[in-house]
Amino acid sequence: MNKHIKWLLTQYKSQKYFVLIMVIFTLASSAVQIAYPYAFKRMIDLLNDVWANPELYPTPMVEVNRIIMLFLAIGAAQFLTGFYPCFRAWVNLRFEHSLRIFYFDHITRKDYRFFQKFRTGDIVTRLTDDLSEFPKISWFMGSGIFRAFNSFSLIMFSLIVMFSINAKLTLLSIMPLPLMMVVFYFTSEKLYTNFERNQRAISNINNQLEMSFSGIRIVKSFVSEAKYNRFFDEALDRRFKTEMSVVKLNAILSLIYQYIDYFAQIGVIMFGGYMAVKGEITVGTFFLFYTYLSMMIYPLLDLPQLFVSGKQAFVNIDRLDEMKDHPSFNPETQVGHEVQRFEGLSFEKVNLSYPEKGIHVLRDIDFDLLPNEKMLILGSTGCGKTSVVNLILGIVKPDSGKITFSGIDLEKINIKSLRDIVAYVPQEPSLFSGTIKENIMLANTDASEEEYQKAIRVAQLTDEIELFPQKDETHVGQRGLSLSGGQKQRITIARALIKRPQLLILDDITASLDAENEEKLWLDIEKEYPNTGAIVISHRLSTLRYVDTVLYIDDYGHAHKGTHDELVMTNRDYHDFLHEHLKK
Ligand code: TTP
Ligand code: MG
């Protein structure tokens, strides 16, 4: 079965009761629409007959009253089916909601390579515009398909009634049908490719916007506003062109359809009129055919639209599935051995490269870390310090070699349980929209007020928070735009501490704490969080005072571990590296 159809069926199954109500509603609404002209035809024929053969109708008012009752019944049914479009819109929303949750959930479990491939703006477009805008997925699944089903049942019901009254006239009236199919076939392919191009242009623009605003400070500091404006102009220009071609094609399509409608009506008037004059059909039948046909034309033209909007929706489905199916290292973070305690860590001949950049970063790395040990990673910029941390957190996988955590192979560990006992302060801290307190509590929503106060105290934030306008209830922007880099990082340190981690990883805290505050941080950690293991990356040599051991990564990607004194004595490169640093 076609994969899109399968996809749709799975979605419908998840909402089967709503779908069932929609089916019933749709059939009822078509039946009501069909019944109205039919009652009219009965009335016309009756009046005509009463007028022509009054002797057959001794009590004509009884007959008339019966038809009036029929009209009243149709009116009542029409009232009920009036809620149908409203219900349909509601079903659209349900689909939109459940799909967005489904794909969002998948995306949050992706690794960094996913986010390198899909820019934020692109992901946002796929989750919003692709899902909810007019001819897109959720509209298609509810309104699109059921409007088509409505059209289809309306046409079928009309045809049944028409055939049962006069087969010859019916056949003559539906002749334009094949013509429309041909027209559709030739235009749809083109519309499909244009639509896809248009969607790409929209994503592109959202990316540009996202990039320019999230990096607005960089743009401004490099005085490159004009360059960005030009980029944006070009992107807008592309979108304008693709959008125009979709509009043009749509205009041509609707013009063609209008003419088909026109010819079909003329046909009925000619053939039907002729047959009515000859007495082959009654005036009521002529009326019925004319009404049914004009009622049918629009749905008939609308049906091919289903294929068009279907194709559009299928493009969107593919775009969502492309994200969902993008391979990730840890798609299942919930499986594997659970670790409860941090009982040390070891690297055995670990190699790491970034194939997309063609660089081999870490070579045959060997080291052990004991449970309560504090280790400093030193090395020149770009030597692979952050990469070591990423390996431990399971964010990247080694090319070869083995990493064990608490004696268990990292490959076999439930990564989520590992991340529960390890806290990580990234080199580039990021905050979420919300208050400072919310940002810190994020890591441990069960933390008591006391725990919270302790964490901000140890992160050397207490005095600073006093200075904020609303203390710790101060809102920080989407990326904490109103805070300094150092403030942001100290908030992320507090966020890490509130987890009471067994292993704390601090990636380059040099910028956020001066020497004095760093000393306070380490003394406080020792006091308030005793027996916490730590891996620290720092460019400040004074950090050496607070750690037990050093992992030095040289410029060839080899690692050397020992106490500072041991390394100075035995490793020439380390000696030189420190020497260089001291000069700075
Ligand atoms: P890092 O591990 O980020 O180096 P570092 O942390 O030692 O550097 P810094 O002191 O500046 O923080 O990167 C090592 C190399 O690997 C570097 O050339 C960049 C590259 N790299 C990638 O290609 N992709 C990645 O995702 C990362 C983290 C690094
Ligand atoms: Mg780094």
Q: What is the pLDDT of residue 480?
A: 52
Highest mean pLDDT among 48-62, 256-270, 444-458: 444-458
Fold match, 91-324 / 345-583: no
Residue nearest to atom 18 of ligand 1 (CA): 382
Task: Say whether pTM exceeds 0.85.
Answer: no
pLDDT in tens, 336-390: 788 889 999 999 999 999 877 788 999 999 999 999 999 999 998 889 999 999 9
Whether the predicted pLDDT of 176 surpasses 80: no
pLDDT in tens, 307-324: 777 888 888 899 899 988
Contacts 24+ apart (CB under 8 A), 570-576: 574/378, 574/550
Whether the predicted pLDDT of 219 surpasses 60: yes
**CATH class of segment(s) 91-324:** mainly alpha
Residue nearest to atom 27 of ligand 1 (CA): 387
Residue nearest to atom 10 of ligand 1 (CA): 381
Helix ranges, 279-381 (H): 283-324
Structure tokens at 92: 């659209």
The span from the CA of 21 to the CA of 15, in Å, is 10
**What are the CA-CA distances from residue 34 to residues 3, 77, 154, 448 (Å)?**
35, 12, 7, 67
Ligand nearest to C-alpha 379: 1
Best CA proximity match to 454, nearest among 496, 409, 483, 417: 496
Residue nearest to atom 17 of ligand 1 (CA): 382
Ligand 1 center–CA 363 separation, angstroms:
14
**Residue 359 near ligand 1, beta carbon < 6 Å:** yes
Which pLDDT band, with edges at 50, 70 and 90, does 432 fall under? confident
Q: What is the pLDDT of residue 478?
A: 59
Mean pLDDT along residues 200-209:
81
Ligand 2 center–CA 298 separation, angstroms:
63
Structure tokens at 114: 């996913």
135 vs 381: which has the higher pLDDT: 381
The domains of the chain are located at 91-324, 345-583
pLDDT in tens, 19-76: 999 999 999 999 999 999 999 999 999 988 888 888 888 888 888 898 899 999 999 9
Which pLDDT band, with edges at 50, 70 and 90, does 531 fall under? confident
**Residue 559 near ligand 1, beta carbon < 6 Å:** no
Q: What is the pLDDT of residue 345?
A: 93
The span from the CA of 57 to the CA of 358, in Å, is 96
Rg of the chain over Cα atoms, rounded to whole angstroms, equals 36
**What are the CA-CA distances from residue 245 to residues 146, 249, 253 (Å)?**
28, 6, 12
Ligand nearest to C-alpha 385: 1
Q: What is the pLDDT of residue 1?
A: 67
Q: What is the pLDDT of residue 180?
A: 66
Q: What is the pLDDT of residue 331?
A: 47
Residue % of the chain over a pLDDT of 90: 31
Best CA proximity match to 317, nearest among 199, 206, 210: 199
Residues 6 or more apart whose Cβ sits within 8 Å of residue 88? 22, 25, 142, 143, 146, 147
Q: What is the pLDDT of residue 534?
A: 94
**Residue 382 near ligand 1, beta carbon < 6 Å:** yes
**Residue 362 near ligand 1, beta carbon < 6 Å:** no
Residues 173 and 267: beta-carbon distance below 8 Å: yes
Whether the predicted pLDDT of 4 surpasses 70: yes
CATH 3.60.15.10 for domain 345-583: no
pLDDT in tens, 558-570: 999 999 999 989 9
The span from the CA of 23 to the CA of 378, in Å, is 67
Residue nearest to atom 21 of ligand 1 (CA): 354
**Residue 361 near ligand 1, beta carbon < 6 Å:** yes
540 vs 113: which has the higher pLDDT: 540
Which pLDDT band, with edges at 50, 70 and 90, does 158 fall under? very high
Residues 144 and 243: beta-carbon distance below 8 Å: no
**Residue 268 near ligand 1, beta carbon < 6 Å:** no
3-state secondary structure of 212: helix
**What are the CA-CA distances from residue 117 to residues 123, 131, 253 (Å)?**
10, 20, 37
DSSP single-letter state for residue 198: H
- 387, 399, 508, 537, best to mutate for ligand 1 pocket (most atoms within 8 Å of CB): 387
Residue nearest to atom 1 of ligand 1 (CA): 384
Mean pLDDT along residues 543-559:
92
The DSSP annotation for 40-89 comes to HHHHHHHHHHHHH-GGG-SSHHHHHHHHHHHHHHHHHHHHHHTTHHHHHH
**Residue 221 near ligand 1, beta carbon < 6 Å:** no
Q: What is the pLDDT of residue 456?
A: 92
The closest-lying atom of ligand 1 relative to the alpha carbon of residue 383 is 7
Strand 549-553 and strand 559-562: the pairing is antiparallel
Ligand 2 center–CA 386 separation, angstroms:
4
Ligand nearest to C-alpha 359: 1
Whether the predicted pLDDT of 248 surpasses 80: yes
3-state secondary structure of 239: helix
Highest mean pLDDT among 112-126, 167-181, 418-432: 418-432
**Residue 509 near ligand 1, beta carbon < 6 Å:** no
Mean pLDDT along residues 80-100:
88
**Residue 387 near ligand 1, beta carbon < 6 Å:** yes
Which pLDDT band, with edges at 50, 70 and 90, does 143 fall under? confident
Ligand nearest to C-alpha 553: 1
Whether the predicted pLDDT of 177 surpasses 70: no
Which pLDDT band, with edges at 50, 70 and 90, does 239 fall under? confident
Residues 158 and 288: beta-carbon distance below 8 Å: no
